[in-house]
């Protein structure tokens, strides 16, 4: 089993060597774990959906071992700071558990280009349905995420989950 910092480097590498946003990294790792990553990161629900302190610690370790480096950018709209991760050292072996390397690479690249709010909603829908076992997940996500669920973003999140075969069974947006 690879070390956790190697998993972080493998995700950044698979995403194309650069990954923008800690939220995005958290959601990519969470979704990959649901598909067989086997990172052993423990998740809890937090402001932006599933969150792993273990993953945050693994990021710090990946930086300490010179596998990745983190830079910061600022949004033009409000000046909010965000992380930009760059791969420094290519992983020497597979770090994707039961996920085929080619599939993991395709998924990480798709996730790295997906709107971060859609990714957050997808991970949160999965969490509500399968970790909290909420039958009323569609009402609950609107309650927790509010305006983020509008303008087709929740529907795109459900489509993403469906493409991964992780969507809630027999549920549609707006029904509970």
CA dihedral for 38, 41, 42, 48, sign (positive or negative): negative
Binned at pLDDT 50, 70 and 90, residue 160 comes out as very high
pLDDT at 106: 97
Domain ranges of the chain: 1-113, 114-176
**Does residue 126 register a pLDDT over 80?**
yes
CA–CA dist 9, 172 (Å, integer): 36
CA distance 145 to 40: 27
Task: State the fold for domain 1-113.
Answer: Arc Repressor Mutant, subunit A (1.10.10)
Nearest-angstrom CA–CA distance, 4 and 147: 34
Question: Please, are residues 55 and 8 in contact by the beta-carbon 8 Å criterion?
Answer: yes
Q: Once rounded to an integer, what is the mean pLDDT over residues 9-37?
A: 97
Got the DSSP string for 9-60? HHHHHHTTSEEE-HHHHHHHHHHHHHHT-------EEETTEEE-HHHHHHHH
Cα 5 from Cα 121, distance rounded (Å): 26
- Position 152 pLDDT exceeds 50: yes
Percent of the chain at pLDDT exceeding 90: 91
pLDDT in tens, 87-120: 999 988 778 999 999 999 999 999 999 999 999 9
Is residue 176's pLDDT more than 60? no
C-beta separation of 103 from 31 below 8 A: no
- pTM of the entire predicted model: 0.94
| pLDDT computed for residue 69 by the predictor | 98
């Amino acid at each position: 089993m690879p070390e956790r910092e190697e998993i972080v480097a493998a995700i950044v590498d698979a995403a194309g060597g650069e990954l923008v946003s800690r939220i995005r990294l958290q959601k990519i790792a969470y979704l990959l774990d649901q598909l067989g990553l086997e990172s052993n990161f423990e998740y809890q629900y937090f402001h932006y959906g599933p969150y792993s302190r273990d993953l945050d610690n693994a990021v710090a370790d990946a930086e300490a071992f010179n596998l990745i480096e983190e830079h910061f950018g600022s949004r033009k709209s409000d000046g909010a700071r965000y992380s930009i991760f760059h791969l420094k050292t290519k992983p020497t072996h597979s770090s994707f558990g039961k996920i085929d390397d080619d599939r993991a690479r395709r998924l990480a690249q798709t996730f790295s280009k997906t709107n971060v709010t859609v990714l957050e909603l997808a991970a949160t829908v999965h969490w509500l349905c399968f970790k909290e076992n909420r039958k009323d997940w569609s009402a609950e996500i609107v309650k927790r995420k509010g305006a983020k669920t509008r303008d087709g973003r929740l529907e795109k999140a459900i489509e993403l989950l469906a493409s991964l075969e992780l969507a809630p069974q027999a549920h549609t947006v707006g029904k509970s």
